[in-house]
Structure 1
Amino acid sequence: MIRKLKLLVCVVLGALTLSCSDWLKVSSEDRIMENDLFRTPRGFMTALNGIYIDLLNSSMYGKTLTWGMTDILAQYYTCREKDHSYKSLADFDNVTRNNAVSGCWNRSYALLNNVNTILEHCESDRNVLDDTYYHMIKGEALALRALLHFELFRIFGPSYSKDKEKECIPYALTSETKVNPLLPAREIARLIMEDLKNAEESLTGYDPVIETGAVWGDDPEGGVNDMRYRSMRLNYYAVQALMARVALYCGEKEVAWEYAEKMIRGIHEEHKWFPFVTREEVVTTDKEDRIFQSEILFGLYNLKRKESVYEVGFGANLKQGSVLRIDKDIMQNIYDGDDNDFRLAYWFAEMVDPDNNSYLHVIKYKDVDDIDTKTKISKGYRYIMPVLRVSEVYLIAAECCPDPKEGRNYLNAVRTARNVKNIQDDADLTASIEQEYKREFVGEGQLFWLYKRKGKTEIASGEKQGNVVSMEERFYLFDLPQSEQDYRKENDLGK
């Protein structure tokens, strides 16, 4: 990205110190600081930017919800060494799994407190904000509240198709410091969709992404960039994509189709926003866009992606017992050995580790030179962590479209964008969509939730081609953190 945006990130980080939750304590002194923060539009934006920054914490999209826990459980990686750091997690050990998500619980509810504080100040300090800032900040905050609850819902909720009435998580609607009751899964799903509908309504007519797309560049007049770089925020189209994701997860295929089709129509028919990546953008030597930046509906900007993601998870400097790598035979099978597929060709590479072993490494998040030759500034894709992308919405449309033939066209649109031949008319559409999820979301944390949504009883093993893992129902379920359980028991609040 550009220098000014980097500076903004640094300023916000400095303002919020170690954690976004630090600036919203409940002491009288901190309450005064909070009130000062919301006296200007810039203060509102500082608070909102802090939420986005903290989403990159390792317990959130910096690791757990993307390339870490969720993809390890989906069996993407081979962790066959008995002393591998992630072996117990890959084996679905209960203690290890529950420990892996406890940080996500704590961080999410701290962030939700801050999101709700922003929403409350949108109303109490409405006079501070003009109409555009009010609707944009409110819409993004509502969407963030929905997103955070949905991630918690996928983790700590039941297999939705089997038990909609099971109490699972609380829904934080205010910043009041209290423990809320656990709500049934169906109620959590309803509240998430309600927040997203309100977010969409708030952003309608105000989000510039609708008329200008996700402008990637500074204000040419030297003004603030609050309404630019919309793909790095929960914009109008990202909200629609999230609605489609939530609806499909909850088995509401008609609703999922409605929002998927609406979003695709908006960006690829009414406009030409968020286009599929071009061949030139992917294959340019030393400048490969492995993230497919133009397709990112919502991503997070991680200036330390090289150090905090690639080097600790996938780098050639890691030994056998800690690196996350994909078995070569399995990888070839996933992509049908088609070297024309951009993903197969540019997301994996043979590397030699410190013990002189040559293995296939995932290089999707490997650093790259993305400096524009004309402007001499970063294009941004070396820093992006994807959260929502266009291809997922096409796959949702493929699965939910009432007409299977049209559904096949949506799937083939993704395959064409990846330089892969169309599926044949007699191909199993459901199986083909699932296979495309495997190919498309390496390092992005989506495959495991497809397995949970469908209640898969067997999934492909990451250890050896042809092996399968028998999935017990408990493998999809996580316990609330022990501290949360103890507190609720002490205060007679259920589980």
Structure 2
Amino acid sequence: MKTFIKHIAVVLCVLVFSGCNKWLDVKPTDQITQERLFSEGIGFRNALNGIYQYIAEGNLYGRNLTWGLNSALAQDYIGNDISQEYQNAATTFVQTDPAVLAIGTNIWGNAYKAIANSNKLINEIKGKDTGLFQFGNVEKKLILGEAIALRAMLHFELVRLFAPSPAQDLSGQYIPYVDKYPSYYTAPSPTSTVLQNIQHDLEEAKNLVAENDTILNRASLSTKLSTRLVGTNVAEERFFSFRMMRLNHVAIAGLLAKVALYAGDVERALSEASYVYTYGPSGTKKWWEFTSSTNAAGVNIYTKFADDVLFGSFNTDLVADITAYKGTTVRYRINKQVSAWFPSAERDYRLNLLIPDAVVSTDLVSQKWIATNSTGTFRSQQNTFAPVLRLSEVYYIYSEALYRKGLTADALTILNQVRVARGKINTFTDQSESGFYNELLNEYRREFLTEGQTLFAYKRLGKGMQVSSTQLIPMDERFTLKIPEGEFIN
């Protein structure tokens, strides 16, 4: 297999900051040259925002990596009520089908385009004097750190989809780690090397953004949804607002914990997860919280349970794009196994996010991807982003790392904190290995239903997915996408 990474010219758009509910507005008719883009500090802001806008589209976080392909592969939906290409990938598992190969090619190509643009930005900013930036070295480090974190995060998405899990094959060479610009050809690296590079990048990025996020502009994170989701109207402050939609210090630490656990590095996962835990409602800082019972129900429900989102991918047209893609022939009804995931005898606020299907009222669909018409505070803004990393997932990582270290009682304490926050009134007490992992995977099911993260918990653990009372799907090569052969990225 040969993978060619072509020289990609960075052509990004001027971004106009406007409106209290929008952090950027892309004007694609005003394309500018690289020289002009990087001649001023504002150009680096625009370039970074352009990458975030690009990854929010349907081929990446706007569909495939969240409610689309990843959720279909996780068997979140009734198999014949999803788009045909997803049926081929997730129901019949014909990964060589042209439509399935096209999905993989689009993910691969768009991810590497975003990576190339990140590398271009990294190259350009490193040599610039801090005086070019309005807020000097802090701003320069922030932009550099986020670009490095974007590069790492996108490589992680690729290695999870296009390579077997590390537990199955750690030395196989499946994807290239591209950290240079331009890169005309980069050979695939062993999965172990790719994961090491991801962790190295995330560690650097976490340190680079720390001064902005934890000292100078900490209020953009610590004052919860009022700044993380809504932001400020002060023009010179808007770039430093909306930190939930950017790879902030805490989100990067959470990604580090996630990558470390996927790589089998329990000690690193434990360290990073425990650090993120301090920012949660049970920690000392309490910058994040879990959505309250009041906001987790009724006509004014928080459709994305936004309070604990560490990072979300922002797209003002997200709901419109989803509606257009689904069309009228399929409705993405939830797998009928949902009754086993949400036992009727147990209270669980996450069940409130599922509503009766408009046609088959005995089936359910998710509100997460349907526009809310509520005018209540923080409601309409939840139409505009796809959750990518939640505090709850870091709690699960923390719990599992504790369990694998033999601290079973502590592990159950952390796991139960999420369960209680989501409305459960019964305490989970089974410390056996089978009992713990069964409940952990059930929690992934309930928490990330149609968000695209459940698949990788099963893949990492090599656990088969029980998709009906009689069907168990083994976690094998069917859940690893075919790498585009000789793929050129244009």
TM-score by length of 2: 0.86
**Cross-structure match for 1:419:** 423
SS at match of 1:106: helix
**Cross-structure match for 2:289:** 275
Cα distance change on mapping 1:350 and 1:311 into 2, 3 Å: farther
Cα distance between partner residues in 2 of 1:5 and 1:83: 35
- Deviation at residue 372 of structure 1 after TM alignment: 4.1
- Establish whether residue 437 from structure 1 lines up as the match of residue 444 from structure 2: yes
Cα distance between partner residues in 2 of 1:236 and 1:357: 43
**Cross-structure match for 2:11:** none
Range with bigger deviation, 54-63 or 357-366: 357-366
**Cross-structure match for 1:333:** 340
> What letter corresponds to residue 366 of structure 1 in structure 2?
I
Deviation track 1:101-152 (CA, whole Å, cap 9, x = no partner) reads 1101100111111101111111122342311111110111111010011011
Q: Is the 8 A contact 2:253 2:273 kept in 1?
A: yes
> What letter corresponds to residue 223 of structure 1 in structure 2?
E
Q: Is the 8 A contact 1:168 1:182 kept in 2?
A: yes
> What letter corresponds to residue 263 of structure 1 in structure 2?
V
Deviation track 1:250-269 (CA, whole Å, cap 9, x = no partner) reads 11111111100011113442
| Structure with more contact order per residue of length (Cα contacts < 8 Å, sep ≥ 6) | 2
Alignment of 1:166-181 (within 5 A): 166-181=172-187
Cα distance between partner residues in 1 of 2:107 and 2:82: 27
SS at match of 1:205: helix
Cα distance change on mapping 1:116 and 1:327 into 2, 3 Å: closer
**Cross-structure match for 2:169:** 163
Cα distance between partner residues in 2 of 1:352 and 1:372: 24
Cα distance between partner residues in 2 of 1:381 and 1:453: 30
Cα distance change on mapping 1:325 and 1:81 into 2, 3 Å: closer
- Deviation at residue 408 of structure 1 after TM alignment: 0.6
SS at match of 1:168: strand
Cα distance change on mapping 1:224 and 1:14 into 2, 3 Å: farther
- Establish whether residue 468 from structure 1 lines up as the match of residue 471 from structure 2: yes
The one of 242, 263, 270 equivalent to 1:229 is 242
Cα distance between partner residues in 2 of 1:99 and 1:197: 33
Q: Is the 8 A contact 2:77 2:332 kept in 1?
A: yes
Cα distance between partner residues in 2 of 1:3 and 1:82: 36
The one of 256, 264, 272 equivalent to 1:251 is 264
Cα distance between partner residues in 2 of 1:82 and 1:290: 21
Range with bigger deviation, 400-409 or 95-104: 95-104
Cα distance between partner residues in 1 of 2:244 and 2:470: 39
Cα distance change on mapping 1:466 and 1:7 into 2, 3 Å: closer
- Deviation at residue 12 of structure 1 after TM alignment: 5.2
**Cross-structure match for 1:71:** 71
Cα distance change on mapping 1:4 and 1:333 into 2, 3 Å: same
Cα distance between partner residues in 2 of 1:208 and 1:5: 24
- Establish whether residue 363 from structure 1 lines up as the match of residue 380 from structure 2: no
- Deviation at residue 188 of structure 1 after TM alignment: 0.4
Cα distance change on mapping 1:229 and 1:191 into 2, 3 Å: same
**Cross-structure match for 1:93:** 94
- Deviation at residue 191 of structure 1 after TM alignment: 0.4
**Cross-structure match for 1:303:** 316
Q: Is the 8 A contact 1:12 1:49 kept in 2?
A: no
**Cross-structure match for 1:10:** 25
Q: Is the 8 A contact 1:369 1:382 kept in 2?
A: no
**Cross-structure match for 1:114:** 117
Cα distance between partner residues in 2 of 1:10 and 1:137: 19
**Cross-structure match for 1:493:** none
Cα distance between partner residues in 2 of 1:266 and 1:472: 34
Cα distance between partner residues in 2 of 1:249 and 1:436: 17
Cα distance between partner residues in 1 of 2:163 and 2:357: 39
Aligned residues: 453
Cα distance between partner residues in 2 of 1:164 and 1:228: 39
**Cross-structure match for 1:406:** 410
Q: Is the 8 A contact 1:200 1:240 kept in 2?
A: yes
- Deviation at residue 335 of structure 1 after TM alignment: 1.0
SS at match of 2:482: coil
Unmatched segments (≥5 aa) in structure 2: 1-16
Percentage identity across paired residues of the two chains: 26
Deviation track 1:208-256 (CA, whole Å, cap 9, x = no partner) reads 5873225244446553311111111000000000001101111111111
Cα distance change on mapping 1:83 and 1:481 into 2, 3 Å: closer
- Establish whether residue 455 from structure 1 lines up as the match of residue 456 from structure 2: no
RMSD of equivalent CA atoms: 2.5
Cα distance between partner residues in 2 of 1:86 and 1:371: 34
Q: Is the 8 A contact 1:73 1:92 kept in 2?
A: no
Cα distance between partner residues in 2 of 1:287 and 1:337: 23
Cα distance between partner residues in 2 of 1:81 and 1:8: 35
Cα distance change on mapping 1:370 and 1:107 into 2, 3 Å: same
SS at match of 1:204: helix
